[in-house]
Amino acid sequence: MDPRPRPGLGSGSGFEVRVLASLGRVQGSGHHSGPWSGFGVQVQFRLVELISTLYNVFVVCNGKLSFKFDSFLNNLKCALLFMQKALAGLRRIDLDGLRWRVFDAKGQVLGRLASQISTVVQGKDKPTYAPNRDDGDMCIVLNAKDVCVTGRKLTDKFYRWHTGQVFHSSDCLVFLDDLLCSTCRYVGHLKERSLKDQMAKDPTEVIRKAVLRMLPRNKLRDDRDRKLRIFTGSEHPFGDRPIEPYVMPPRTVREMRPRARRALVRAQKKAEMQEQKANDTRKGSKDKAAEVSA
């Protein structure tokens, strides 16, 4: 599977997101009901026209406008792109009767968090669950960059995928004169990326991969994937929705087994003895140096 970031969610400034959300609530069509209500599709087109107009003014003035105006224009573009990516695909989801559950990934173990998210996004926490219906709630995951892993997974876990280019039949006839190819061929190499590098590149994809690999491989998988909205920080554009924070179950840490406990005690005693021996050696060398100098 390719762990490279997909066109989905991104990170942006919370101030611009709140400004766009407020603009959408004020100027959006009030009679519209659906996933785009509260944001206003017309507002986004108006913002695009505003950005293009400001850019034309900037070009006419030969770029002599102040730096603050230029930075404001860039921030506005980034905020608009963030809103469009965060709201992508919501029009395909029937949001009637669905809850908006918020998961805080800060300090949570990746596997435990992904299992809870997969349960909620499938609707298994409801008494009306059926495997042939998609009744799961919307899941918003915050602070993806602060998720934790146990053991040595940060350096030992790898994501692997294959690169390649699709050759059509005409291309194959050009490159392979003697071979009549009617199917596509994938020419490439195996690529891999460690979990540590993937967290530095895009931490949202780590949680997404963990959740998707816990879902059944059927036709409902893509619909459930659209209900999963993951953000790197604590900002999200769904402030006007009836949000319900999800409380993670308490984590029970297993007690250390007797054999492992004895090994730990022996290791601690050995370390203390080595440290004491090193201190005695340093003290003896200092005493000898003092006698020589005297």
| Per-residue confidence band for 252, with pLDDT thresholds at 50, 70 and 90 | confident
Q: Is the pLDDT of residue 139 over 60?
A: yes
φ, ψ of residue 96 in degrees (nearest 5): -70, 125
pLDDT value of position 140: 95
Neighbouring C-beta atoms of residue 119, cutoff 10 Å: 14
pLDDT digits (tens, 9 = 90+) for 88-102: 666 677 777 889 999
Q: Is the pLDDT of residue 169 over 70?
A: no
Mean pLDDT of 233-253: 88
What Cα–Cα distance (Å) separates residue 167 from each residue in 52, 172, 173, 178? 39, 6, 10, 16
**Whole-number percent of the chain with pLDDT over 70:** 61
pLDDT digits (tens, 9 = 90+) for 27-65: 333 333 444 444 443 444 455 566 666 665 555 555 555
To which H or E segment does residue 134 belong? none
Mean pLDDT of 253-281: 89
For residue 111, how many C-alpha atoms fall within 13 Å in the half-sphere facing its CB? 6
Q: Which residue, among 183, 187, 203, 184, has the nearest Cα to 195 in the 3D structure?
A: 203
Mean pLDDT of 213-235: 93
Contact 215, 224 (CB under 8 A): yes
Complete domains list, the chain, with CATH: 14-245 (3.90.1180.10)
Q: Is the pLDDT of residue 66 over 70?
A: no
- CA–CA gap between residue 16 and residue 8 (Å, rounded): 19
To which H or E segment does residue 288 belong? helix 258-293
Q: Is the pTM for the entire model greater than 0.85?
A: no
Mean pLDDT of 97-114: 94
